[in-house]
Amino acid sequence: MSTRQTALYYFSGTGNTLMLARLLAQELGDTEIVNIAGCRDSATAPEADRVGILFPVYAFGLPRIVHNFVKNSLETAENTYVFSLANYGGGGGPAALKQLEWLLKGNRGKLDAGFGLTMPSNYLPFGGAESQERQNRRFIAAAEKIKEIARIIEKRPENYFYRKSFVPGCIARRFNKYFCRSFAREAAKFYVNRNCTACGVCEQICPTQNVKLVDGRPRWGDNCEQCFACLQWCPAVAIHRRGIPETRQHYHNPTVTAQDLIKDIRK
């Protein structure tokens, strides 16, 4: 429970969203940052006056873990100012925010404002890490955008959405539901090669505790978010996925460490 002015709930596979949460916290001041993957209580009722939900767009919508957290755990008071920041490699922010708005409404809550911005893509099936130069350009633009977003949040506008979704919300929601369900089984495609040092980072960083070291080798269950954290953070680059060339450049946000995420997940 937060007694700060702002509580930011975030989910992040490869660190982009945590980077944004930190930048936004710096701008807003007096902010607590909470990893959704570390929220194990059935009810989370922040006392903060402003609550932010920060997430990476997955398949034009919410990652399953964020969806479940908002639906089943998050309880906000009527006078709490609720906003959200979606980030994505290409698009889908407005549709994801619409999904979140509906979800909150279904819980007798509301979404006062929704923002979105681009970050480097971590979706390995579509390509490897972008060039360092391109990543840096995105980080600089995102930091500027965060300043603007913070100033807007301070004014507490109601029903403020940075952009309208060009995909009808109901179609995007179905698409997201279908893909997120199929993601859960995709973990069967992960494998580890002989570079594995049994360090256990994959087990510790998995937001759903879906990876277990068995005889010093990771084994995946069937509760996968497809966040790619196990693969992208593997310090030995030993984890790969069937159908994706091992030479494809892995990605994680350079301002965040695996330990930053692990300590928030395992606290």
Ligand X SMILES: Cc1cc2nc3c(=O)[nH]c(=O)nc-3n(C[C@H](O)[C@H](O)[C@H](O)COP(=O)(O)O)c2cc1C
The two tokens of residue 50 are 């402003």
Q: Is 57 in the site for ligand X (CB under 6 A)?
A: yes
Distance CA 45, CA 162 (A): 27
Given 9, 64, 74, 92, the residue binding ligand X (CB under 6 A): 92
Report the residue number, 9 or 123, with the smaller CB distance to ligand X: 123
99 binds ligand X (CB under 6 A): no
97 is a contact residue toward ligand X (CB under 6 A): no
* CA 237/CA 249 separation, integer angstroms: 10
128: contact with ligand X by CB under 6 A:
no
When asked if residue 89 is in the footprint of ligand X (CB under 6 A), the reply is yes
Please provide residue 203's backbone torsions phi and psi, each rounded to the nearest 5 degrees.
-65, -45
167 in Cβ contact with 57 (< 8 Å): no
Nearest to 19 by CA among 33, 29, 40, 3: 33
Q: Binders of ligand X: how many residues, by CB under 6 A? A: 26
Which span (81-89, 98-106, 192-200, 216-224) binds ligand X, by CB under 6 A? 81-89
* Binds ligand X by CB under 6 A, chosen from 60, 81, 83, 115: 60
By C-alpha distance, which of 224, 256, 266, 184 is closest to 17?
256
At 244, which amino acid appears? I
The Cα 33–Cα 256 span in angstroms is 14
Binding string, residues 195-224; x marks residues near ligand X by CB under 6 A: ------------------------------
Q: Tell me the Ramachandran region of residue 213: left when phi exceeds 0, alpha when psi lies from -120 to 50, beta otherwise.
A: beta
| Interface with ligand X (CB under 6 A), residue from 85, 103, 119, 224 | 119
Among 6, 8, 13, 139, binds ligand X (CB under 6 A): 13
Residue entry with tokens 């903060």:
48
Residue 15 near ligand X by CB under 6 A: yes
Residue number, 80 or 97, with CB nearest to ligand X: 97
Question: Which residues of this chain interact with ligand X, rule CB under 6 A?
Answer: 12-17, 56-60, 87-92, 119, 121-123, 183, 226-228, 253
